[in-house]
């Protein structure tokens, strides 16, 4: 894949690279090289020309609570514990329903796509089926993530607590299932392989 545009990226915390109107060669989802002039061996390939647009690397979110996406923008009137009790716990309790979880997690993942966040590390809830749905949908979307089931046995409503032994058992089961059924190698889950125009991608 050949992309033309204005590229800005960091090679270190202090070194910013700016490449104006250059060609980027991407193969199997991995950047290979930049060119000021397109080499002859690529002259037959389609070039995606983004004109004067600025192209930057995707974002990585290293700490996100996926089920709390539905609570965005509310609860600024509360301190942390009252906020959890008033807003967060009641919403997270709804993820017991896999149908609700699927709809909510689709909204979450589509929002990540729209904001250019291609990698993330996320908490789910303590619900086994809902956590699996987030894992499955994430792979289907082409995003890459570390996703963990939340384990809670104290300081929460009864409907959001579980036996510690059961929590460990279900966590291990999710890990083993993910290793068997999900495959997120870059060759499988790159934006190029999933959809040529990844920014328009939607889970429907």
Per-position pLDDT tens, the chain of length 204: 999 999 999 989 999 999 999 999 998 878 899 999 999 999 888 999 999 999 999 999 999 999 999 999 888 889 989 999 999 999 999 999 999 999 999 999 999 999 999 999 999 999 999 999 999 999 999 899 999 999 998 889 999 999 999 999 999 999 999 989 986 543 333 333 334 444 344 444
Q: What angle do CA 117, 118, 121 make, to 5 degrees?
A: 85
Query: What's the confidence (pLDDT) of residue 30?
Result: 85
- Cβ(161)–Cβ(152) under 8 Å? yes
Tokens of 175: 């890990």
């Amino acid at each position: 894949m050949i992309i033309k545009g204005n590229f800005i990226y960091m090679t270190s915390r202090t070194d910013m690279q700016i490449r104006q109107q250059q060609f980027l060669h991407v193969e199997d989802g991995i950047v290979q090289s930049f060119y000021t002039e397109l080499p002859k061996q690529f002259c037959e390939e389609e070039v995606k020309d983004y004109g004067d647009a600025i192209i930057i690397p995707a974002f990585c979110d290293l700490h996100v609570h996926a089920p709390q996406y539905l609570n965005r923008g509310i609860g600024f009137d509360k301190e942390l514990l009252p906020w959890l009790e008033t807003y967060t716990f009641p919403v997270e309790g709804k993820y017991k329903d896999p149908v609700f979880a699927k709809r909510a997690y689709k909204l979450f993942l589509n929002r990540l796509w729209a904001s250019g966040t291609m990698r993330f590390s996320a908490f789910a809830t303590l619900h086994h089926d809902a956590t699996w749905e987030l894992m499955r949908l994430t792979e289907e979307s082409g995003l890459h993530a570390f996703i963990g089931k939340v384990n809670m046995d104290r300081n929460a409503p009864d409907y959001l607590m579980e036996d510690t032994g059961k929590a460990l058992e279900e966590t291990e089961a999710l890990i083993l299932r993910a290793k068997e059924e999900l495959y997120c190698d870059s060759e499988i889950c790159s934006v190029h392989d999933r959809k040529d125009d990844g920014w328009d991608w939607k889970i429907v």
